[in-house]
Each structure stands twice: as C-alpha cells, then as structure tokens.
Chains A and B, each alone.
Chain A
Amino acid sequence: MISRGIASKPFSVRKLPGFTFIAILCFALLYAPIVTLVGYSFNAGNSLAVWEGFSLQWYYAAWQNDKVQGAAILSVIIALQASLYATILATMAALGTTRTRNFRGQTAIYTMINQPLMVPEIVTAVALLICFAVIKQATDYHGLVYLVIAHTAFCIPFAYLPIRARLEGMDKSLEIAAADLYATPWRCFRRVTLPLLWPGILAGAMLAFVISLDDVVITEFVKSAGQDTLPTYMLGQLRRVITPEINAISTALLAISVLMVSLVFLLNRKKS
C-alpha cells in the first residue's frame, strides 16, 4: 500500500491534476439543485428563487390539500402492498437460484427477473396500458389491483438483488447441521435460514418500497381515473403555476427515500 499522506507528498502516483477539482464540483452539482429545492420548501413567499423568510406554510398547505392527502395515502398503500409481495416472491426466487448447482433454465429465470431493469420503463408502461385497457373493458373493474401487480413486478428485481447477495454470503453448513438433527425443511428454514437472511430481506423490502413510492412512468399509464399517487399528482401539477407546495411534497418524499436508503446502507455495513 502507498502511504496515506497524499497532501504531504510532493509527487503522488495516485494524484491526477484537476481530478479532485472536478470531483468536488461534481458532488456540489449533484447536491446543489436538491438543496435548493429543499431550501425553498421553507420559503415564506410563493417564489422558488427569491427568499422571503422561513415558514412552514407550504407544508401546512400540502397537508391541508385533500388531493395531496389522497395521493399520499394511495402511494403508501400501493408501496406497502407491492413491496410486501415483491419481497416474498423475491425471497423465494433467491432461495431457488442461489447456493445450488446450475440447473436447466437458470439463465431464463435470471433474464425474467431482471427484465424490469433492462426494458425501458416507457415500453413496459405502454405494454401494460394496452393489456389492462383490454381487461378493464372486459371486466369493468378499475380497482387498485392493476397498479399493485405492475408495481410488484418491477419491484421484484430490486428486492431480489440484496437478498441474493446476502444468501450467497451465507454458509450452508448450519442448515445442513439442522437437517442432520432431524429438523424438518420448514423448521430449518424458520429457525436457521430466515434469521440469517433477515437483514437481506429487510434491505430488499425497503428498496422495493422506495422504488414503488417513487415510480412515475408506469403508474401514469396504468392508473385509472382518480388514482393519483404523489409522483403522478406532481407531474399533473406541471401545467399549473408551481408554488413551493411542490417543494414541500418533494422534501417529504426525499426524506423517506434518504431514510430508507441510509437504513439499507447500515444493514449492509453491519454484515461486512
């Protein structure tokens, strides 16, 4: 290893001129717009660029807005269901595809699971629009099930990846020992595999929740009338005059995402 004192050395093989400057600039650029957005959510005036003092009025306005409330509740209902189903399905799939001999069709399974990551969202969205339009017309059912199924599907790969990563790092000998001690497969799973796998499952569920909560494109095309989630509500507000109320909603959503991702980060760090 090369010593750490980069600054004190006259010549460092690790340093390339200008790189640190661009890197710092890059971090600043990544955060400046978000910080501005969050900052103006506390603006007392209705401008997005002129600071008129601190106030929580836009949070209050958003809280009082029936449409925002409805959209927020719907977002959470869908995200909770989708992340729950996606996590269960992904856990099963991860158990079926890791720590096993290569089996026939394994590549096909991987491709299927990763499909939502590879196909552009707009393509899946219009494909779902076409299919669900037919079903909606045939059955006259316009409920939430369409959105929940669509969200579950694209959440599966996000839940699957951390669970699989966790499983791959787990030693099979404990489970073999349990089986040797005459534990039934189910008991072995409940008492040995599940507790060890739990951090991965939790991480997967939280990522799935965030992904579902943030989705715009697929929701926009699948939703029936009156089924706005927070992101599609925000997209709909584009045509109107934008006030810091949008910033307040955004900040709330950002806070949830940052919290969840930080937890996932901590969960993963504990492991290593």
Chain B
Amino acid sequence: MSQNTSPLSIQEQLARQQETKTNWLLCTPALIVLFLAASGPLLVMLFYSFLTPGDYGGVEYQLSFDGWMNVFLFRDIFDDVLSIADAHVAIFWRSIRLSLMTTITCLILGFPTAYFIATRPRQSRNFWLFLITIPFWTNLLIRTFAIMEVIRNKGIVNNLLIDLDLIQQPIQMLYTDFAIMLGMTYVYLPLMILPLYASMEKLDFGLIEAGYDLYATRIRVLRKVIIPLIKPGIIAGSILVFIPSLGAFVTPRVLGGGKNLMLGNLIELQFGQGRNWPLGAALSITLLFIVMAALLLYVKNVQKSGVQHD
C-alpha cells in the first residue's frame, strides 16, 4: 500500500488510520440520513420500476418490464400491437426543447449582466451580486406566482397593452409553452449569472486591450478573446440552468396549466390519476440518467479546460 511513501513510521501510519476512522465517524450520521431520505429511496424506486402496477395505485410484487417499455412504447389494449407512445415522446421533446430554449435565453440575458457586474468597481460588485442572489434564495413557487399574476389575461402586462391601444383583446400568454419558458428563464437566471460572473471576475483585461491594440473590432474581441476565456463559466451556467429546467415540476404546473406537461408533470401523473407507479419510477430514472449524462459532460469539459471545480 504505502510503498511509494515508504519512510512512514508505523506510528504515523497508525495515526493516519485513526484519522481516517475519525473522519468517517464524523460523516456517518449525515450519511445515514442521506441514505434514508435520498440515495436509498432511489434504489427502492429502481426496484419498483420492474413491478406490476396495482389497481388503485401502488404495486403488486410481480416482475414486469412493462413500466420500462411504456416509457416510449404503447401497447394497444385490444390487439396488443406495440406502437411508439406519441404522447410521451412529445413530452420528452417539449421538456428538452423548452429547457434548451430556457438555457439559451438565460445565456443571452445573463452574459451581458455578468459582464456588467464584473466590470463594476470592486466595492460595488458585491452589491450587484447580492441583487442577483436574493431572487435565487427566495421561494421558487412565489416567483412563479409572480410571473403568473403578471402575464394573466387580466394581468398587468395585458392591461397595459390594452390601455396603450396596442391590442384589443388580451393575449393568451398564460398556459402556453411560452409562459413555461418565460417562467423557467425568470426562475433559473441567477444560476446562469453566478458562474458566468465567477469566470469573468478573473478575466485579464490586458488581453482584451491587446486585442484592441491589434485593431480587432469589438465583435472580434468578444468572439476571439472574451468568450474563449470564460468558456468554463458558460458551460457551468448552461448545465446549472438546463438540469433543473429538465426536471421542472412547479413552473410547468403553475404556468402551463393542465395541458402543457413536462417530464416532471408526466411523472407526477403516474402517481396520481395514472396509477402506474412502475411507469412513473421508470420515467424518473430515465430523467435521472439524462441529468447524469449532462453532469458527466460538464465534468469532462471542466477537466479538459483544466479549471478547478469547487
């Protein structure tokens, strides 16, 4: 074991072993709670995805692969013909599409904002950052409600547009895909700005000046100097927005009404009216896999660009 660190006395080795033991003991209580209410249940859910749905919710303890099959396929109850489950595919597609659009919108809004904060004098940066963190720590449901109240048919935006005679009838914004995207952008924007800022704070403006000295235009400096330098921040922010968007549940429920479902709502449905727990479990694990894939991609990218992740 310790051949490469050979000059360790037995005493020191014992001390190290003792230290490791203490460390583990200190972590054990937290790990137990996390196992009981975070990791363990995921394993139970994996088990449940291979069972048969019960008639009134719950499961019957009988092996079945229908839960997994039903994620993308649909068996006709009359002639047993398998076909693609269009509804599920549509919801997966909507989730991914809306999450991507949210990520891009957050990037378009967040990039200049982070740059703005990073170029403030040092003393006032904390204040601007604080303004970004406050919404991040306030209740997601409340922020979603705030958006809902603003874009309702009788909400302040429509009232204003009617008063200005720009429109005669209120525009139906609530309960559309647009509303969901707007809500998610609003809710997750701080998650984009904070990592972008972290990268921009370390930006060496000497390099930008050098770019200008060499007669680069502003666009060229942005494209060839600034963006490559803060790429880790762009990737981190995009992942941090994309992942919760994909698993969003509250925002599509409040802003999408009952019909514009996203993955999170489809999962909930299986535990409510759908009464198909194994399918719900399989869908959840599918979502988890997509998220893990995105995270792995992120970790790989971070390692490649040699940036310390904390």
Residues of A whose CB lies within 8 Å of any CB of B are 2, 4, 6, 13-27, 29-34, 36-37, 40, 47-50, 85, 88-90, 92-93, 95-97, 100-101, 103-106, 109, 112-113, 115-116, 118-131, 133-134, 149-150, 152-154, 156, 160, 207, 210, 213-214, 216-217, 221, 231, 234-235, 238, 242, 246-247, 250, 253-254, 257-258, 260-262, 265, 269
Q: What residues of chain B lie closer than 8 Å to A231, measured between beta carbons?
A: 139, 141
Residues of A within 8 A of B58 (CB): 133
Asked if A20 and B250 make an inter-chain contact with CB atoms under 8 angstroms apart, the answer reads no
Set of chain A residues within 8 Å of B133, measured between Cβ atoms: 261, 265
Candidates A33, A123, A242, A253; contact of B42 at CB < 8 Å: A123
Q: What would 6 A/B residue contacts be, using CB atoms closer than 8 Å?
A: A26-B189, A30-B190, A119-B291, A122-B284, A133-B58, A216-B250
- Besides A36-B150, A254-B139, 7 new A-B residue pairs in contact (Cβ under 8 A), listed by A number: A19-B112, A37-B142, A92-B26, A92-B27, A118-B291, A123-B42, A149-B33
* A176–B45 alpha-carbon span in the complex (Å): 47
Q: Known interface pairs A23-B113, A112-B34, A216-B250. Does A36 touch B20 (Cβ–Cβ under 8 Å)?
A: no
Chief secondary structure at chain B's binding surface = helix
CB contacts (< 8 Å) of B29 on chain A: these are 88-89, 92-93
Q: Judging by beta carbons under 8 Å apart, are B20 and A154 in contact?
A: no
Q: Write out the residue numbers on chain B whose beta carbons fall within 8 Å of the beta carbon of A16.
A: 112, 115, 218, 222
Contact of A128 among B41, B117, B143 (CB under 8 A): B41
Check if B60 is an interface residue, CB within 8 A of chain A: no
B-side residues, CB < 8 A to A, are 16, 19-20, 22-27, 29-31, 33-42, 44-45, 48, 58, 109-110, 112-113, 115-117, 119, 121, 126, 130-135, 137-143, 145-147, 149-150, 152, 154-156, 159, 186, 189-190, 205, 208-209, 212, 218, 222, 243-244, 246-247, 249-250, 253-254, 263-264, 267-268, 271, 277, 280-281, 284-285, 287-288, 291-292, 295
Chain B positions within 8 Å of A250 at CB level: 139, 142, 145-146
Contact A85 B119 (CB under 8 A): no
What separation, in Å, do the CA atoms of A124 and B44 have in the docked complex?
11
A59 to chain B, nearest CB (A): 16
5 nearest A-B residue pairs (beta carbon) = A120-B247, A96-B26, A23-B116, A127-B41, A153-B37
Most buried by B among A37, A105, A122: A122
- Tell me which residues across on chain A come within 8 A of B30, comparing CB atoms: 89-90, 92-93, 112-113, 156, 160
Question: Which chain B residue has the least Cβ–Cβ distance from A239?
Answer: B258
Point out which of A13, A14, A89, A210 has the most chain B C-beta atoms below 10 A from its C-beta: A13
Query: Which of A105, A126, A156, A238: most chain B CB closer than 10 A?
Result: A126
Contact A104 B205, beta carbon cutoff 8 Å:
no
Residue of A nearest to B46 (CB): A127
Assembled-state Cα–Cα distance A259/B116 (Å): 26
Contact A48 B155 (CB under 8 A): yes
In the complex formed, the residue of A with least CB distance to B151 is A33
- Inter-chain contacts of A89 with B (CB < 8 A): 29-30, 33
